[in-house]
Structure 1
């Protein structure tokens, strides 16, 4: 008879996870190489060129207006419903939740907090840099434009650069940045580039952004991804600090609770005033907190228990024996009481 127990699929998955190493040794942390520094400088120059072209109302602004009057959403209305859903891939809330769920799974499987911390740093940089640029330049979008041909700058808007585009570049590009193999990094880089490119062009199709907004959003997101290696030491220190807090918490939870125990009472009873004064010659027992505390502890230990009498007790040999009255046997209702007049039967009678 076969008595072997077959494992379920969930049990096989957890058994496989238990064999995972503490931290994979083949995962390399990107460094700020010379190639990356050159790309960062070139992207920063492109960012500044887009801002300058919009400020001087150059040919780029005229192209923005031409695309706005072209109204792509009216030229190709059959894809409007699909692109309304596709543009969600650039919204910060849904994309951050999806990417955080995947990176949380990787953090648990690889026993490291680096993926989640890298995502948090990148989103923080995105909110600070893109948010400051939006509020600082205050450009109005196509639906709220006031003067044909103007750059619509400093009019209280928050459209320049495109937040959807920059968010798509960062949230999907962080997957390529955290890839563990070069092949996975190449595939994820291409996938994130196509996704962010589609999100940016979708905002132009829907008429919610100028083309220059999308160009600046691509540059803003790429700058954040290129600058992440500068923050890797900070991420490593934050991970070590969080793990040390976790270990300390586990140690406090697993340590047994130590109950304070009072020491034995002194043999001579309560300490005398002379001994207290001798312990602290400059202060009296009432003024010395340490002596007063020891005195109170000794008084509590020398105090008799509450269930005993406080009077003197005699020894057992000095006590007068007391004979109990009556029979010690318990009464029985089915037995008749004995009388002294009843005669016992004669043996053999």
Structure 2
């Protein structure tokens, strides 16, 4: 049965949705930041070693620890998926989204995308330098690694990039179905990249959990900022474009 809303009711619903968005984003930022601090504390005290070791060993052939479980195509697929969290792919995705938003006349959103991703990358680098956790030595690595282990850069930057882009791009979409699709795709890619790092043996599971947590916290914060700037007219609303110069 269709429910007809009066103009006053529609206004009331819109105002309350506008209030819920910032509250949800701040709550998400606080929760994921707390989760990262909790995970980092456990890692620093060495409390995650048994958990990390059990999961890494469960994903390897007991007779040959250099061989991840599953068929050979699964290992190759994991390498392909893990590339989605690499600097080259993330740069291409970010630049593509930035150019798309500029071409769509959404200059404020484009600038926010650039600031969010660059800021997240600097945060990831700083955290890695601060913790300097060694890479797993329990099983041979099935992919090359160059940096410290905690938090996982691939997991964190995937969350920073894909979740931030998902949140910001969904804000410039009018249809709820499109918003849900964009955010669902961003979450799925973020999770797959993190799992691939564990499967390939290049990160402890707690590295990936920490990367997801801090990346999601940053994305939530960027979402909150986007909502505030949108209210002030500094970031375009759904369906709105900036005037040509």
**TM-score, structure 1 as length reference:** 0.52
Q: Equivalent residue for 2:22?
A: 33
Structure 2 CA distance for aligned equivalents of residues 125 and 233 of structure 1: 17
Q: How does 1:169-180 map to 2 (within 5 A)?
A: 169-177=159-167, 178-179=169-170, 180=173
Q: Equivalent residue for 1:50?
A: 39
Q: Equivalent residue for 1:84?
A: 79
Q: How does 1:272-287 map to 2 (within 5 A)?
A: none
From 114, 118, 134, the counterpart of 1:140: 134
Structure 2 CA distance for aligned equivalents of residues 125 and 105 of structure 1: 20
Structure 1 CA distance for aligned equivalents of residues 92 and 68 of structure 2: 33
Higher relative contact order (CA 8 A, sep 6+): 2
From 41, 44, 56, the counterpart of 1:68: 56
The alpha carbon displacement at 1:71 in A equals 4.5
Residue-by-residue CA offset, 1:236-263 (whole Å, 9 max, x unaligned): 7699xxx9xx95xxxxxxxxxxxxxxxx
**Greater C-alpha radius of gyration:** 1
The alpha carbon displacement at 1:166 in A equals 1.3
The alpha carbon displacement at 1:202 in A equals 0.4
Correspondence 1:199 to 2:189: no
Structure 1 CA distance for aligned equivalents of residues 151 and 19 of structure 2: 27
In the alignment, is the contact (CA less than 8 A) between 2:106 and 2:235 conserved in 1? no
Correspondence 1:160 to 2:160: no
Structure 1 CA distance for aligned equivalents of residues 179 and 235 of structure 2: 25
Q: Equivalent residue for 2:183?
A: 189
In the alignment, is the contact (CA less than 8 A) between 2:124 and 2:157 conserved in 1? no
Structure 2 CA distance for aligned equivalents of residues 63 and 117 of structure 1: 41
Gaps of 5+ in 1: 1-27, 146-156, 248-349
Aligned length: 204
Deviates more, 1:189-198 or 1:99-108: 99-108
Greater helix proportion: 2
Q: Equivalent residue for 1:116?
A: 110
RMSD of aligned alpha carbons: 3.2
From 101, 104, 121, the counterpart of 2:99: 104
Structure 2 CA distance for aligned equivalents of residues 32 and 227 of structure 1: 12
Structure 2 CA distance for aligned equivalents of residues 96 and 199 of structure 1: 16
Structure 2 CA distance for aligned equivalents of residues 192 and 138 of structure 1: 28
**TM-score, structure 2 as length reference:** 0.72
Task: Note closer, same or farther for the CA distance 1:82–1:123 as it changes in structure 2 (3 Å cut).
Answer: same
The alpha carbon displacement at 1:38 in A equals 1.7
Q: Equivalent residue for 2:8?
A: none
In the alignment, is the contact (CA less than 8 A) between 2:68 and 2:200 conserved in 1? no
Residue-by-residue CA offset, 1:283-341 (whole Å, 9 max, x unaligned): xxxxxxxxxxxxxxxxxxxxxxxxxxxxxxxxxxxxxxxxxxxxxxxxxxxxxxxxxxx
Gaps of 5+ in 2: 1-16, 61-66, 140-146, 237-241
